């Protein structure tokens, strides 16, 4: 929609850093002429907690809880991404059961993130009911995480070399129940939103972007796929055995907020497919170790620590001196809910990383906000912000 601004008085309005739509602490300075945005300057850093510097003083294992709190809507994916990076640095592979479980919990976290994103996007635009329906499903996901890891939101479930523990027997029935109820809820949500003329008016044509421009801006994830580029690290550079699962990647056409919503909805369905395949595969694999049995990297089980001298020494060395890391640097990326979550680790052989850098997926996406909303009205800024799924924890670290 193009409108020509006739008036020449410009008003500067602050959107945030304390504002509704619970997006965390984002601050955008809008220069308006009437209702039309002439310039939008995002001002970030209100949640910069110093995670990267703190990582230089913690051991590799101690950094795992900090990764939880990056993209807090899908904490497990950050855990998985980070431990995959450390395992790449070490050159080890976690056992097969752990790989399947990591895929399972990543996909559950992805579903959870998309549920929140769509729910909050809807609430911003005024559709409150979708949020309540979607949050019911998210509560079931929280129950599943609590069963697996002991905590609803920040699970810190993975360890270097595998997982904290195996899933309990109550997990599978609840997961099966979730696999039945979630598609029904997503259908209900779609019946509220997809063919709703108000939703279409607010989101179609808003925030569209061409594929080349999206690549130039550094977009990855659902926003890039909505623009028409079929880039998904799970298919393009598979990790954790993703090449053995059957799933499709939804790709949009115009990249506007409506396409992003459709891509996310379809990704929820595809993730449900993957979860189904994971459950079947767990039955096939049968019981097994979920953490590597190299006690120079992973803690030995408590029975061994209390009964064998060697295991006690390994435990002591791991806790006091950390893992012995090779000297080198790696960049490892996984497909998080928002896009490519990269971890750049520089190790000088010490027990803490020399430098740890997190490449957040929503960082370049949010940097393009000005270009996306220039010339549009304020209401479109709200839709675009929701469609980008900017999580301040990962943006500012």
Per CB under 8 A, residues contacting other proteins are 17-20, 22, 24-25, 44-54, 57, 65-66, 69, 72-73, 88-89, 91, 116, 131-132, 135-136, 138-139, 142, 152-154, 215-218, 220, 229, 231, 236-237, 328-331, 333, 340, 342, 344, 346, 354-355, 357, 359, 363-364, 367-368, 392-393, 396
- What the block records as the tokens of 230 is 């079929």
Task: Give 324 or 329: the residue with its C-beta nearer to other proteins.
Answer: 329
Task: Give 208 or 311: the residue with its C-beta nearer to other proteins.
Answer: 208
Task: Give 129 or 196: the residue with its C-beta nearer to other proteins.
Answer: 129
Shortest gap between Cβ of 74 and other proteins (angstroms)? 10
Of the candidates 134, 139, 106, 343, the one whose C-alpha atom is nearest the C-alpha of residue 247 is: 106
Q: How, if at all, do strands 27-33 and 162-163 pair? A: unpaired
Shortest gap between Cβ of 335 and other proteins (angstroms)? 13
- What the block records as the tokens of 330 is 């790696």
Shortest gap between Cβ of 262 and other proteins (angstroms)? 22
Shortest gap between Cβ of 91 and other proteins (angstroms)? 6
Is 148 exposed, middle or buried, given 0-12, 13-18 or 19+ CB atoms closer than 10 A? buried
- What the block records as the tokens of 271 is 């993730």
Task: Give 346 or 379: the residue with its C-beta nearer to other proteins.
Answer: 346
Task: Give 142 or 247: the residue with its C-beta nearer to other proteins.
Answer: 142
Omega of the bond leading into 27 within 30 degrees of 0 (cis): no
Shortest gap between Cβ of 159 and other proteins (angstroms)? 18
Shortest gap between Cβ of 310 and other proteins (angstroms)? 29
Task: Give 310 or 371: the residue with its C-beta nearer to other proteins.
Answer: 371
Task: Give 77 or 290: the residue with its C-beta nearer to other proteins.
Answer: 77
**DSSP code of 218?**
T
Sheet holding 36-43, edge to edge: 11-15, 27-33, 36-43
Task: Give 5 or 350: the residue with its C-beta nearer to other proteins.
Answer: 350
- What the block records as the tokens of 66 is 């900090």
Shortest gap between Cβ of 210 and other proteins (angstroms)? 13
Shortest gap between Cβ of 285 and other proteins (angstroms)? 27
DSSP per-residue letters across 122-177:
HHHHT-HHHHHHHHHHHHHHHHHHHHHHS-SS----EETTEESSPPPTTHHHHHHH
Of the candidates 265, 125, 288, the one whose C-alpha atom is nearest the C-alpha of residue 190 is: 265
- What the block records as the tokens of 17 is 């850093």
Please report which residue ranges of the chain form alpha helices under DSSP H: 51-55, 64-68, 75-90, 96-125, 128-149, 171-193, 197-203, 211-217, 222-226, 233-236, 257-285, 302-307, 309-321, 362-367, 369-373, 378-388, 392-396
Task: Give 91 or 287: the residue with its C-beta nearer to other proteins.
Answer: 91
Q: Provide the 3-class DSSP secondary structure of residue 360.
A: coil
């Amino acid at each position: 929609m193009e409108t020509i601004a006739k008036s020449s008085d410009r008003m500067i309005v602050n959107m945030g850093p304390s504002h509704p739509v619970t997006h965390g602490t984002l601050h955008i300075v809008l220069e308006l002429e009437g209702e039309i945005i002439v310039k939008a300057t995002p001002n970030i850093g209100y949640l910069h907690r110093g995670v990267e510097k703190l990582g230089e003083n913690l051991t590799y294992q101690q950094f795992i809880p900090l990764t939880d709190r990056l993209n807090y809507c899908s904490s497990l994916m950050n855990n998985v991404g980070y431990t995959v990076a450390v395992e790449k640095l070490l050159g080890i592979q976690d056992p097969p059961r752990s790989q399947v479980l990591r895929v399972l919990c990543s996909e559950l976290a992805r579903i959870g993130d998309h549920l929140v994103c769509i729910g909050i996007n809807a609430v911003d635009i005024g559709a409150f009911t979708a949020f309540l329906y979607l949050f019911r499903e998210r509560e079931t996901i929280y129950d599943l995480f609590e069963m697996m890891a002991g905590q609803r939101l920040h699970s810190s479930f993975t360890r270097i070399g595998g997982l904290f523990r195996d899933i309990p027997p109550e997990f599978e029935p609840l997961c099966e129940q979730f696999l039945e109820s979630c598609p029904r809820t997503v259908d209900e949500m779609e019946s509220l939103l997809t063919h709703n003329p108000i939703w279409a008016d607010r989101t179609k044509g808003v925030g569209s972007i061409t594929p080349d421009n999206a690549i130039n801006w550094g977009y990855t994830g659902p926003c890039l796929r909505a623009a028409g580029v079929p880039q998904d690290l799970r298919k393009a550079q598979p990790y954790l055995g993703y090449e053995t699962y059957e799933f499709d990647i939804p790709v949009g056409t115009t990249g506007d907020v409506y396409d992003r919503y459709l891509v996310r909805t379809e990704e929820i369905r595809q993730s449900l497919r993957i979860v189904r395949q994971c459950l079947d595969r767990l039955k096939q694999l049968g019981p097994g170790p979920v953490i590597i049995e190299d006690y120079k990297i992973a803690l030995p089980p408590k029975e061994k620590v209390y009964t064998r001298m060697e295991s006690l020494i390994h435990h002591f060395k791991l806790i006091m001196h950390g893992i012995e890391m090779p000297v080198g640097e790696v960049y490892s990326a996984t497909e998080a809910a928002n896009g490519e979550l990269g971890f750049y680790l520089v190790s000088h052989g010490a027990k803490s990383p020399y430098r740890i850098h997190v490449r957040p997926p929503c960082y370049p996406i949010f940097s393009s906000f000005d270009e996306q909303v220039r010339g549009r009205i304020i209401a479109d800024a709200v839709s675009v912000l929701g469609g980008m799924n900017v999580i301040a924890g990962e943006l500012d670290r």
